[in-house]
Structure 1
Amino acid sequence: MEFTYGIDDRPGPASLLIFGLQWLAVSVPAILIIGKVVAGLYGGSAIPYLQKLFLLTALVLLVQLYLGHKLPLVIGPATVLLIGVLASLDAGFGAINASLLVGGLLLAGTAAAGLFEYLKRLFTPRVITVVLMLIAFTLAPVILNLITDGGGTVPATHTFLFALAFALILFIANGFLKGIWKSTLALWAIILGTLAYVVLFGAVPLPPEGTALLAFPGDLLAPLAIPDIGVLAAFLICFLALAINDLGSIQSVGGLLAADKMGERVNRGVTVTGLGNALAGLTGVIGPVNFSLSPGVIAATGCASRFALVPAGVALALMAASPLAIGYLGSIPGPVIGVVLAYVMAAQIAAGLMLGQESSAVRTFDEGLIIGVPLLLGTVVAFLPAAVAAGFPATLRPLIANGFVVGIVAVLVLEHLVYRRRSENSG
């Protein structure tokens, strides 16, 4: 796969701004989706919580680009940690914050010691192909919830039909547009989609009057409390899942771009992720993780430069300083966000298929099963009803009820245990 800009290439100022806006358009929805859910658990206004989350995300992103993995990887709140938070609400937010701090430090120490280098060999082309595609399939429930979210005033049937028509127009535009217009299609989709939604269904909720233009949240440091063994154990399992996610994301982008020194990139990248989660515990927000959706953006834009994410990181930091801007961003309709995510996920599936074809990952029926079974299993788990997920023990729920983790474990077992000898013989 060829790209206009390589990992360490520096696009010109105009191109840098354009690609930065594209990455920003992908980053903001991910932060808003999970951030608003967690902020709702705290009660009160969501704006101060989202400010801290935007600031943390910007800081970790910039550190990753210059000191961490140095790959074009977008980051955002870790969904698997949301499961840990929900399972530990009875212990209080002080214990939750302390668990994030401890888990982040342990993750950073493990990576800094170089232990993740031994896991690199697990990520064969078939495993990377599954990682690329699995995130798209396991995000399907989130996308479905978004495109049927009418904010309590618009029927779900209407928002679904709007999303269906909007998605069709978006993919048709992707087929016809060229150059700069195609590169910024996701951004224009958010702007024009929001305007269309307002015209069809009326105004969306805006920030309350008197919301400040510039102001930082009052309490940057959060309370800490000694967690009990059960809560800490639950979060350590969450961090195991987060480590698999983070490692898979770094390896998938590195494999797609044929990046050099991947062992060093993995160690530095996961170390920064761990330190970012420790900082999240200190500030009282959900911790970050590298997202596997990045290959979809790279494939859609043709730009693999890590420096294209720098404007996005700076913009996230500036947004964090403006409660008014955060309030307006929170007003983007759910169906619009859902359709744009679906567009990016479709591009990511295409990138996974291209990588599988280029690496000859599927040559036999058994090799097809190595990819197909984890995708199906991860998708089924992603759609598990909440009542079923709640029936699992709290300490196992972050693994068993997480479609991404289940799919990754399944592909590793199939690739390296069940079909290992047959795959080697066919190679």
Structure 2
Amino acid sequence: MDFTYGIDDKPEFGKLLLFGLQWLAVSVPAILIIGGVVAAFEPDGSAIAYLQKLFLLIALVLLVQVLWGHRLPLVVGPATVLLIGVIASMSQGVGVINSSLVIGGVVLAVLAATGLFKYLKPLFTPRVIVVILMLIAFTLAPVILNLITGEGAVPVVYNFVFALVLALVVFIANGLLKGVWKSTLAMWALLLGSLTYFGLFGTFIPPSAETAFLALPGELIAPLVAPEASVLIAFLICFLALAINELGSIQSVGSLLKAENMDTRVNRGMTVTGAGNALSGLAGVIGPVDFSLSPGVIAATGCASRFALVPAALALMAIGFSPLLIGYLGCIPSPVIGVVLTYVMTAQIAAGLMLGDENNAFKSFDDGVIIGMPLLVGTVVAFIPPALAAQFSAATRPLLANGFVAGVVLVLILEHLVYRKRPE
């Protein structure tokens, strides 16, 4: 595939801004969707500050990656797999979650910087990776359901019907749109879906008049509390999945662009991602990862220049310094967020199925068991009622009530122990 601009080419200023705007349109929805879910757990009045810190962190990691890390045109966003760990560990307190993010980020950075991560790669066979990609989507189903049904002035049935119609429109648009329009569909769904929802139900509440246009997000250092072993283990498993996501994203773009020195790019990129996650724990926000949707944006725009992401990073940073702007962006109704998250997770499932097909991961009945059982068990655990989860001890709840962790542990056991002698 031929590109108008290569990895290290610098487009003219006007085109650089245009390409940067397109990358910005891809970045903002992910930050709002995933960050908004976690920010909803923040105490009253602090959701805007949370999103401010998240925008600033993502902007910083993106700049470091394209200029000094993997040096590839890869968009950065909040890690969905960490969202599962954060939600499952909320009962332990934010201090425990923050410390777990710091430790997990440091471990990932050290493994990547020293080259030790290569010794973990044999664990992640194509079948294990397929399960991990699909588990992220399946175990987020309870979160999506809660977002779609919503709470507040609008009856639940209205929210549910609205979400079904919007989801139908979004997936039809996904099949009809091409190029940049398809790459930025999430942004258009958030914008037009929100306007439609406000028009139908009149629920729009703007930020208060006291909200500043420009201001720092308040306390930049979050509380830290030493995590219990179960919480730390759960997060380390999530970080293993994050590492596979990061590795796949870097390699997919590197393969598309035929980039040189890929081993160095991978190690440096994963090191920066690990350091970014450690920093996210110190700041008290969800950690970052490179997104695998980047090849689609590159193919749609014809621009493979890493410098096109610099204007996008600077714009994200500017948004992070504006509580008023984030206040307006944070008004997106929860059913709209639920629908767009469904769209994003459907793409995640599709990526898992494509990966399995490309690597011949489905060749026998046993392969189906290795993939199907962890997906089913993980989904069932994700839907455990809160009353049942509360009966687990506080020390074991982050492991036993975490559907993603249960699914990953089970697929590793099936792949490497139960069926370890099965010929490839």
What TM-score, normalized to structure 1?
0.83
Cα shift at 1:70:
5.4
Cα shift at 1:270:
4.3
Stretch deviating more after TM superposition (364-373 or 2-11) = 2-11
| Separation (CA, whole Å) in 2 of partners of 1:394 and 1:4 | 54
Kept in 1, the 8 Å contact 2:30–2:77? The answer is no
Cα shift at 1:310:
4.7
Q: State the partner residue of 1:382.
A: 382
Stretch deviating more after TM superposition (251-260 or 105-114) = 251-260
Q: State the partner residue of 2:285.
A: 286
| Separation (CA, whole Å) in 2 of partners of 1:106 and 1:177 | 41
Kept in 2, the 8 Å contact 1:238–1:399? The answer is yes
Query: Residues 151-197 of structure 1, C-alpha deviation per residue, up to 9 Å, x if partnerless?
Result: 41001110010010111111112222233332322211111111110
Relative distance call for 1:102 and 1:346 in structure 2 (3 A) is closer
| Separation (CA, whole Å) in 2 of partners of 1:183 and 1:107 | 30
2:345 maps to amino acid: M
| Separation (CA, whole Å) in 1 of partners of 2:419 and 2:4 | 37
1:272 maps to amino acid: V
Kept in 2, the 8 Å contact 1:132–1:295? The answer is no
Relative distance call for 1:176 and 1:280 in structure 2 (3 A) is closer
Instruction: Determine whether 1:123 maps to 2:119.
Output: no
Stretch deviating more after TM superposition (153-162 or 104-113) = 104-113
Alignment of 1:402-413 (within 5 A): 402-413=402-413
Cα shift at 1:367:
1.3
Query: Residues 108-143 of structure 1, C-alpha deviation per residue, up to 9 Å, x if partnerless?
Result: 334433322101122222222222222221222221
| Separation (CA, whole Å) in 2 of partners of 1:374 and 1:256 | 26
Kept in 2, the 8 Å contact 1:104–1:275? The answer is yes
| Separation (CA, whole Å) in 2 of partners of 1:213 and 1:174 | 35
Cα shift at 1:340:
1.3
Instruction: Determine whether 1:79 maps to 2:75.
Output: no
Relative distance call for 1:319 and 1:234 in structure 2 (3 A) is farther
Cα shift at 1:212:
1.0
Cα shift at 1:417:
2.0
Alignment of 1:90-129 (within 5 A): 93=95, 100-102=101-103, 104-129=105-130
Gaps of 5+ in 2: none
Query: Residues 322-349 of structure 1, C-alpha deviation per residue, up to 9 Å, x if partnerless?
Result: 0001111110011111111211222222
Kept in 2, the 8 Å contact 1:100–1:281? The answer is yes
> Aligned to 1:384, what secondary structure does the other structure show?
coil
2:21 maps to amino acid: L
Kept in 1, the 8 Å contact 2:148–2:163? The answer is yes
> Aligned to 1:180, what secondary structure does the other structure show?
helix
| Separation (CA, whole Å) in 2 of partners of 1:345 and 1:46 | 24
Relative distance call for 1:406 and 1:379 in structure 2 (3 A) is same
> Aligned to 1:420, what secondary structure does the other structure show?
coil
Alignment of 1:323-402 (within 5 A): 323-402=323-402
Relative distance call for 1:356 and 1:277 in structure 2 (3 A) is closer
Cα shift at 1:222:
4.0
Relative distance call for 1:121 and 1:3 in structure 2 (3 A) is farther
Stretch deviating more after TM superposition (231-240 or 404-413) = 231-240
Instruction: Determine whether 1:164 maps to 2:164.
Output: yes
Cα shift at 1:250:
2.0
| Separation (CA, whole Å) in 1 of partners of 2:71 and 2:393 | 38
> Aligned to 1:410, what secondary structure does the other structure show?
helix
Kept in 1, the 8 Å contact 2:147–2:335? The answer is yes
Kept in 2, the 8 Å contact 1:128–1:251? The answer is no
Cα shift at 1:96:
6.3
Q: 2:249 aligns with which of 237, 250, 253?
A: 253
| Separation (CA, whole Å) in 2 of partners of 1:329 and 1:210 | 17
2:314 maps to amino acid: V
2:76 maps to amino acid: V
Kept in 1, the 8 Å contact 2:149–2:160? The answer is yes
Alignment of 1:211-250 (within 5 A): 211-222=211-222, 227=225, 231-250=227-246
Relative distance call for 1:371 and 1:85 in structure 2 (3 A) is closer
1:326 maps to amino acid: I
Cα shift at 1:393:
3.2
Kept in 2, the 8 Å contact 1:212–1:323? The answer is yes
Relative distance call for 1:177 and 1:287 in structure 2 (3 A) is closer
Relative distance call for 1:351 and 1:275 in structure 2 (3 A) is closer
| Separation (CA, whole Å) in 2 of partners of 1:352 and 1:216 | 40
Relative distance call for 1:372 and 1:79 in structure 2 (3 A) is same
Kept in 1, the 8 Å contact 2:108–2:243? The answer is no
Relative distance call for 1:103 and 1:79 in structure 2 (3 A) is same
Kept in 2, the 8 Å contact 1:81–1:287? The answer is no
Cα shift at 1:83:
4.8
Q: State the partner residue of 2:208.
A: 208
| Separation (CA, whole Å) in 2 of partners of 1:24 and 1:397 | 33
Q: State the partner residue of 2:175.
A: 175
> Aligned to 1:75, what secondary structure does the other structure show?
strand
Relative distance call for 1:344 and 1:245 in structure 2 (3 A) is same
Kept in 1, the 8 Å contact 2:85–2:402? The answer is no
Q: How many residues align?
A: 409
> Aligned to 2:78, what secondary structure does the other structure show?
strand
Stretch deviating more after TM superposition (327-336 or 402-411) = 402-411
Q: State the partner residue of 2:55.
A: 54
Instruction: Determine whether 1:138 maps to 2:139.
Output: yes
| Separation (CA, whole Å) in 1 of partners of 2:2 and 2:370 | 29
Gaps of 5+ in 1: none
Kept in 2, the 8 Å contact 1:246–1:270? The answer is no
Relative distance call for 1:411 and 1:198 in structure 2 (3 A) is same
Cα shift at 1:56:
1.9
2:289 maps to amino acid: N
| Separation (CA, whole Å) in 2 of partners of 1:339 and 1:64 | 30
Q: State the partner residue of 1:272.
A: 272
| Separation (CA, whole Å) in 2 of partners of 1:298 and 1:381 | 34
